[in-house]
Amino acid sequence: MTEKTVMITGASRGIGAAAAHVFAQAGWRVALLARSADDISELSRLIGSASIALPCDVADPTAMRNAVQSVLSRWGRLDALINNAGMIDPIARLEDADADAWRRSIDVNLKGVFNGMRAAIPVMKAAGGGTIITVSSGAASNPYEGWSAYCAAKAGAAMLTRAAHLEESGNGLRIMGLSPGTVATEMQVKIKASGINPVSALDPAVHIPADWPAKCLLWMCGPGGDTWLGEEVKLRDENVRRAIGVME
């Protein structure tokens, strides 16, 4: 997998930052996208010359197109896109949710996935192939109190994955999702603090470390992901955990 290039959104922390390290250690060149310019610049410094920091709001389609062009200008290719950027806010019942915050969640969690796909697909088709993975959630198929925006957006993003696979699998594109389960990230801290729905009551000890989904994303970019094209890999599956080396 050496000399391949991956673009990771939401790369400033959590799964995105862990994935940046995992891909770089595997010999990939890594483009780090996030609104937090300082955070991704520091991450790029730690990774070294095989990385580039691209401050970007995934909700802005022009910014996403420009990010893809920056990757092409730097390295001449884009082999994989990880649609990881996401937000849990607003955590509120429908009747209490702030409309602007609800709309922003859709802009990031759903439209951001579309913007990434729309920017990457033409480039990958022209190159003869590529992999697009969207980080999904159990919230894509299960409603949770207080999470109407997050659940609706994740459900839409899961359908986007299926639609993109239907349209582009014949053009050499490998498109799928990853449902990681609960991961020990800042998002879980916010969920815990909210006190809303059963997820907030979980013992933090049950959350998996961020490097588990990061390792799974790398695995999915190789032959291991071929079985899952157009579908979602469930990281709760013990067979998947064994395949990526986090469970004996």
pLDDT by residue (tens digit) across 106-139?
A: 999 999 999 999 999 999 999 999 999 999 999 9
CA nearest neighbour of 123 among 72, 74, 166: 72
Domain boundaries, the chain: 5-240
* Residue 150 near residue 142, CB atoms below 8 Å: no
pLDDT of residue 26: 96
Cα–Cα distance measured from residue 79 to residue 82, given in angstroms and rounded to the nearest whole number: 10
Share of the chain above pLDDT 90, in %: 98
pLDDT of residue 2: 55
Share of the chain above pLDDT 70, in %: 99
Give the catalytic positions in this structure. 150
On the question of pLDDT at 193 being above 90, the answer is yes
Place of tokens 């157009």: 230
∠61-185-240 over CA atoms, to 5°? 90
* Residue 237 near residue 180, CB atoms below 8 Å: no
State the chain's mean pLDDT as an integer.
96
The pLDDT confidence band at residue 164, using thresholds 50, 70 and 90, is very high
pTM above 0.85, yes or no: yes
∠3-166-63 over CA atoms, to 5°? 55
On the question of pLDDT at 170 being above 70, the answer is yes
- Any residues with CB less than 8 A from the CB of 75 and at least 6 apart, and which? 5, 29
The pLDDT confidence band at residue 1, using thresholds 50, 70 and 90, is very low
pLDDT of residue 215: 98
pLDDT in tens, 207-239: 999 999 999 999 999 999 999 999 999 999 999
Q: Which CATH superfamily is domain 5-240 in?
A: NAD(P)-binding Rossmann-like Domain (3.40.50.720)
pLDDT of residue 67: 98
Residues of the chain by 3-state class (helix, strand, coil), percent to 5: 55, 15, 30
With the CA atoms of 117, 123, 125 and 126 taken in that order, what torsion angle do they form, in degrees rounded to the nearest 10?
170
Average pLDDT score over residue span 153-180? 98
